[in-house]
Amino acid sequence: MANLNVRIAENAQRWEDAKSTRSFVAIANRLVAAKDRYQAIEHATGVPWFIIAVIHERECSQSWAGSLAQGDPWNKVSVHVPAGRGPFQSWEDAAVDALVNCAPHAAHWKDWSAGGALTLLEQYNGLGYARRGVPSPYVWAGTNQYQSGKYVRDGVYDPAVVDRQLGCAGLLMAMMALDRSIAFSSSAPAPARPRPAADPPPRSLQPSITNPAKGSIGAFFVALIKSVFGRKTT
């Protein structure tokens, strides 16, 4: 199993060093144009809309007939992994199911820093590249961080094949140039701090000469003295 913390750090550094080697502008323009539709899914799942957009592009070239989970038609039962999903009533319903119920369960991911978001995207396609110690074309194709190597089918890796589909990182760079509101979180979420212990409740006073129990003989005499001398005793 790849160490996710290591992969997050590696992807954060790759993001700092990345430069486009192909043009991403045309696809970035149409992804940004669908912002409102992606934002509806963000509101339902908590996944940033621009992350949803690049997943949609990678999985089915932004086809609104294809599911966000694997690109299969959302109005039929899916046959590719994750198989057996659907049919759904709409593209939106299928998208929510993909992000909430299907691995890597993007709706439960909390680290939307550059390294965290790119690692989530890498997990969406699988960590086979991470186990080989190579950059994932799903994320880095079309940038100087990727040269070649691709799983041409399940479990079959060919180091000579070049992924011709544009990767998520370059798409995000181009989208950020078009829409300045797109930004990663500044850092990973801080771990929750333990709450300070509550102050213990005050202990009730024990009966004494100056604080006799209610209804006792002592209480009777204190009341009698107060009535005679007209002052509080100590």
* Predicted confidence (pLDDT) per residue in 118-131, tens digit: 999 999 999 999 99
d(CA 210, CA 232): 10
Domains of the chain, by residue range, sit at 4-178, 204-234
Q: Is 20 helix (H, G, I), strand (E, B) or coil?
A: strand
- Residue 189 in this model has a pLDDT that exceeds 90: no
The radius of gyration of the chain from alpha carbons, rounded to an integer in Å, stands at: 31
The pTM score is 0.79
Query: pLDDT tens for residues 27-55?
Result: 999 999 999 999 999 999 999 999 999 99
Q: What angle do CA 179, 19, 135 make, to 5 degrees?
A: 110
Q: How confident is the model at residue 204 (pLDDT cuts 50, 70, 90)?
A: very low
Give the tokens for residue 179. 């829409």
